[in-house]
A and B are shown apart, each in its own frame.
Chain A
Amino acid sequence: MIARALTFSLMLALCLAATGAQASSAWEAAVAADPVAEKRLQALSKELRCLVCQNETIADSNAELAVDLRREIRGMIHDGRSDNEIIDFMVARYGDFVLYRPPVKGVTLLLWGGPVVLLLLGLGALFAYLRRRAGRVGDTERPLSTEEARRLEALLKEPDNK
């Protein structure tokens, strides 16, 4: 248990040292050493898309731009700006595309509503099909005529001649 705690704190120290080494100025190092600020940076950069490698967040991406934007976010955290202000800063420059979760509005209605519409269409088609099928199966479930009953009787009595 103690060993695990030790390893953990060692790893934490290493991580902090690594981020500290990357930070090129005093305030960057200060933010990087502050676990709360670093957590906010992590959370924010997971919400933001890197515009260079478009399927990565700026938390995951190692593109130049992502590095720059992480530094910019660090600076804004250091200046005491709120998460919303930081997100607005990014949207004002890069548009809604920078948000990993696009906002619900006119142009994104199809994006958000599309899957629901498709699900409803599928369910509708499924129910229509099931009802038609039930109707067809129902048709065949009439009682046997006397002629059919006699044939059935004869077939059942037939000895197995294997």
Chain B
Amino acid sequence: MNRYYWILGAFAALVVLLAVGLGLNPRDIPSPLVGKPVPAFRLALLADPDKTFGPEELRGKPWLLNVWASWCVSCRQEHPLLVEFSKKLDVPLIGLNYKEVRGDGEFDMSKLPADEEKKLALQRATGWLRDHGDPYRLTAMDIDGRVGIDFGVYGVPETYVIDKDGIIRMKHTGPITPDVLTKKILPLLAELSK
């Protein structure tokens, strides 16, 4: 009889293990960039493509970088929250528009020349922000996704918290929920703003 208790115990342990495993989010991959300096880049601005933005311009204050695209469905989900809290936020929220045109999958990129792609990307991104609200201090255009690779972007939307020394302190993959915002991002920003 004892033996059966032992087997039952082992089975229960397996159930617990699998239950915990099922509860984990497989998209939540720890980023090796946390604790590292923000990757250097220089990209054209959405509002004024003749001007550029680079992360070194924000040295000295903490800031947020939000990776988005108009084709990204989850971005739509988190966007109202961004618009809402950006009004009371006293740190810069920077948008990184990721592969606006080629990420969509609706275009045959071999038939779209680079300058056409750029024009279309600016048009689409501007239109989307007009329709859904613009929470960003500025949006930088990562049209070919090369900067995204340096950030290890793999699932838009992604949000990075960067401290005043330009070190990435947190990365959130997937839409920001009110829970993530109030329990993780805002406390971290408060601490970094001290």
Known contacts A24-B110, A51-B155, A68-B145; is-contact A93 B26 (Cβ 8 Å): no
B32–A64 touching, CB < 8 Å: no
Contacts A52-B155, A93-B149, A95-B152; A64 near B103 (Cβ below 8 A) = yes
A97 at the interface (CB under 8 A from B): yes
Which residues in chain B, 145-190, are within 8 Å of chain A measured between CB atoms? 145, 149-152, 154-155
Give the top 10 A-B pairs by smallest Cβ distance, nearest first.
A51-B154, A93-B152, A95-B32, A97-B29, A94-B152, A68-B145, A65-B154, A52-B154, A95-B30, A72-B149
Hey, which chain A residues are within 8 Å of B31, CB to CB? 95
* Cross-chain pairs A/B with CB under 8 angstroms, 24 sampled: A21-B110, A51-B29, A51-B155, A52-B154, A52-B155, A54-B26, A64-B99, A64-B102, A64-B103, A65-B154, A68-B145, A68-B149, A69-B149, A72-B149, A91-B32, A93-B32, A93-B33, A93-B149, A94-B29, A94-B32, A95-B152, A96-B32, A97-B29, A97-B30
Using Cβ atoms and an 8 Å threshold, which residues of chain A touch B29? 51, 94-95, 97
Q: Mark A135-148, 1 if CB is under 8 A from B, else 0.
A: 00000000000000
B68 to chain A, nearest CB (A): 15
List of B residues within 8 angstroms of A51 by Cβ: 29, 154-155
A residues in contact with B23, CB < 8 Å: none
Complex Cα spacing A24 to B110, Å: 7
A residues less than 8 Å from B145 (CB atoms): 68
Docked Cα-Cα span, A69 to B132, in Å, equals 31
Q: Which residue of B lies closest to A68 (CB)?
A: B145
State the main secondary structure of chain A at its contact with B.
helix
Alpha-carbon distance between A117 and B29 when the two chains are bound, in angstroms: 27
The B-contacting residues of A in range 107-129, CB under 8 angstroms, are none
Say if the beta carbon of A92 comes within 8 Å of chain B.
yes
Instruction: Compute how far the CA of A23 lies from the CA of B11 in the bound complex, rounded to whole angstroms.
Output: 53
Q: Which residues of B contact A65 (CB under 8 A)?
A: 154
Tier of interface size on chain A: 10 to 19
Size of the B side of the interface (Cβ < 8 Å), in residues, is 19
Nearest A residue to B110 by beta-carbon distance? A24
Chain B contacts for A96, CB-based, 8 A: 32
Contact yes or no, A64 B26, CB < 8 A: no
For the complex, give the distance between the alpha carbons of A52 and B153 in Å: 10
B102 proximity list for chain A (CB < 8 A) = 64
Closest residue of B by beta carbon distance from A52: B154
Given pairs A21-B110, A64-B102, 13 additional interface contacts (CB within 8 A): A64-B105, A65-B154, A72-B149, A93-B32, A93-B149, A93-B150, A94-B32, A95-B29, A95-B30, A95-B32, A96-B32, A97-B29, A97-B30
Contacts of B33 in A (CB 8 A): 93
Taken together as a complex, chains A and B put the C-alpha atoms of A24 and B26 apart, in Å, by 33
Distance in Å: Cβ of B13 to nearest Cβ of chain A: 13
Residue with the highest number of chain A CB atoms closer than 10 Å, among B31, B32, B155? B32
Q: Which residues of B contact A24 (CB under 8 A)?
A: 109-110
